[in-house]
Amino acid sequence: MAVFTEVSLEQAQHIATALNLGSVTDLQGITGGIENTNYFLTCTSQTGPSGPHEQTYVLTLFERLSSTELPFYLKLMQHLATNGIAVPCPKANDKGDMLHTVAGKPAAVVNKLAGRSQLEPKSAHCAALGETLAHMHLAAQSFETTQPNLRGLTWWNDTAPVVLPHLQQAQTQLLLQELALQNHTGASSAYAALPRGPVHADLFRDNVMFEGDRLTGIFDFYFAGVDAWLFDLCVCLNDWAIHLDTGEWDLPRAQALVTAYERVRPLTAAERELLNPMLRAAGLRFWISRLWDFYLPREANMLNPHDPTHFEKILRARVAKPLLLSTLAQQGTEVMPA
CATH of the domain at 220: 3.90.1200.10
Does residue 117 fall inside a structural domain? no
Nearest CA among 295, 78, 49, 6 for reference residue 171: 295
Q: Which of 79, 111, 143 is the last residue of a domain?
A: 111
Please list the residues that pair with 45 across neighbouring strands: 53
Instruction: Supply the pLDDT for residue 2.
Output: 59
How many angstroms separate the CA atoms of 210 and 49, rounded? 32
Instruction: Give the count of domains, the chain.
Output: 2
Does residue 219 fall inside a structural domain? yes
Q: Which of 63, 82, 111 is the last residue of a domain?
A: 111
Does residue 272 fall inside a structural domain? yes
For residue 56, what is the domain's CATH number? Answer: 3.30.200.20
pLDDT tens-digit map of 80-89: 999 999 999 9
CA trace torsion 142, 143, 147, 153 (10° rounding): -50
Does residue 3 fall inside a structural domain? no
Packing angle between helix 169-186 and helix 153-163, nearest 10 degrees? 160
Q: Are residues 211 and 251 in the same domain?
A: yes
Please indicate whether residue 335 or residue 15 has the higher confidence score (pLDDT). Answer: 15
Dmax over CA atoms of the chain, in Å, equals: 69
Q: Are residues 256 and 142 in the same domain?
A: yes
φ, ψ of residue 145 to 5 degrees: the values are -70, 140
* Average per-residue pLDDT for the chain: 92
Least confident stretch, 119-123, 273-277, 303-307, 331-335: 331-335
Q: Are residues 158 and 231 in the same domain?
A: yes
Q: Are residues 208 and 231 in the same domain?
A: yes
Size of the chain, expressed as the number of residues it contains: 338
pLDDT tens-digit map of 180-225: 999 999 999 999 999 999 999 999 999 999 999 999 999 999 999 9
How many angstroms separate the CA atoms of 53 and 270, rounded? 51
- Cβ–Cβ under 8 Å, residues 194 and 242: no
3-state helix, strand, coil in the chain (%, to 5): 45, 20, 40
The residues near 174 (Cβ < 8 Å, ≥ 6 apart) are 312, 315, 316, 319
Instruction: Supply the pLDDT for residue 297.
Output: 77
Nearest CA among 275, 288, 285 for reference residue 328: 275
How many angstroms separate the CA atoms of 255 and 241, rounded? 9
Q: Are residues 136 and 222 in the same domain?
A: yes
Q: Which of 80, 111, 142 is the last residue of a domain?
A: 111
How many angstroms separate the CA atoms of 177 and 184, rounded? 11
How many angstroms separate the CA atoms of 57 and 166, rounded? 39
Instruction: Supply the pLDDT for residue 333.
Output: 46
Q: Are residues 301 and 160 in the same domain?
A: yes
The residues near 333 (Cβ < 8 Å, ≥ 6 apart) are 255, 259
Alpha-carbon 119 to chain mean position: 15
Q: Are residues 141 and 34 in the same domain?
A: no
Q: Are residues 172 and 316 in the same domain?
A: yes
How many angstroms separate the CA atoms of 35 and 70, rounded? 14
φ, ψ of residue 329 to 5 degrees: the values are -60, -30
How many angstroms separate the CA atoms of 172 and 189, rounded? 28
Nearest CA among 87, 186, 98, 74 for reference residue 137: 87
Mean pLDDT, residues 122-131:
98
Q: Are residues 151 and 48 in the same domain?
A: no
Does residue 25 fall inside a structural domain? yes
Q: Which amino acid is at 220?
A: D
Q: Are residues 169 and 311 in the same domain?
A: yes
Q: Are residues 107 and 129 in the same domain?
A: no
Does residue 161 fall inside a structural domain? yes
For residue 264, is pLDDT > 80?
yes
Does residue 249 fall inside a structural domain? yes
For 61, the domain range is: 9-111
For residue 336, is pLDDT > 60?
no
